[in-house]
Copies of this chain bind each other. A is one copy, B any other.
Amino acid sequence: MNELPEDEQDGSGLFVRSVEKAMRVLECFRHARNPMTLGQLATQTGYTKSTVQRSVHTLLELGYLARHSDGRLQSGLKCLDLAFQFLQPNPLISAAYPILLKLRDATGERTNLSLFDGTTLIYAIRLQSTKDYIYVSSLIGRRMPTFCTAGGRAMLAQLPREQAQQIVMASSRRPLTPQTKTDPSEIMAAVDVARAQGFASVVGEPVIGEVTVAAAVVGARGDPLGAVHLSSNISHCDPDEFVGRYAPLAIEAAHMLSEMR
């Protein structure tokens, strides 16, 4: 007779647990560099081997998982389909694409669009530099912390200060490089600077040797939707000059994509 709110995180009685389990199993592959076995998935999720077996069987049949040549499991092609369905009808994406392309060619630098998602941001468009060919795994769907990225701080600056602070406090604030600011008040100070300037810039905080300027894209009520990023390597340019030259362009692009009227 356990009619208490026994489960913490789900909510109403509409929640389908088998679906959650399957998705959790699918999500195991996020940080996995290699294919996985049933047993590994079981220990990682905490589910029984049977549960994992059933989830995996189903996801295999549906195409969201696939078998590596050695029989282990990896992400399936259908995962790409889901990304397409997200991007395709998204008005921000389709509006941003040509604008970012033009921006990339005007600057020659790496040009990205990220989307706001609380303590993390997620890259939705990534355009490569026309100069260097570093494969910084410039992949769609990569998440980065909000608190230490230029885009993240530009977006935080669009939130009510208290709300921004909540996000900063809720972040893990694990330093990604020796230069990552981890002190909440220091981070909030940077956010305040971003609010005053209308853009944010960071050097070396999320990635060593990288300089980034970013401006926030906002919705109809001024809420942050995403950010336009321009990045380069400090070995190729002077950071201050980079920021000074490109911040206005990032702001302009972000403004064109914003819905504030």
Contact = CB atoms under 8 A, between A and B. Distances in A.
Contact of A130 (B84, B130, B140): B130
Contacts of A143: 81, 84
Interface in A210-249: none
A251 to B, nearest CB: 21
B53 A23 contact: no
B137 A29 contact: no
A94 B135 contact: yes
A79 B151 CA distance: 21
Interface string A138-160: 11111100000000000000000
Interface string A78-109: 01111111111110011001100110010000
Contact of A88 (B117, B128, B139): B139
A89 B61 contact: no
A32 B86 CA distance: 10
Interface stretch (A9-17, A167-175, A177-185, A191-199): A9-17
A2 interface: no
Contact of A82 (B14, B54, B75, B105): B75
Most buried by B among A55, A122, A140: A140
Interface of A: 10-12, 14-16, 18-20, 22-23, 26-27, 29-30, 32-35, 53-55, 57-59, 61-62, 64, 74-77, 79-90, 93-94, 97-98, 101-102, 105, 115, 117, 122-124, 127-128, 130, 133, 135, 137-143
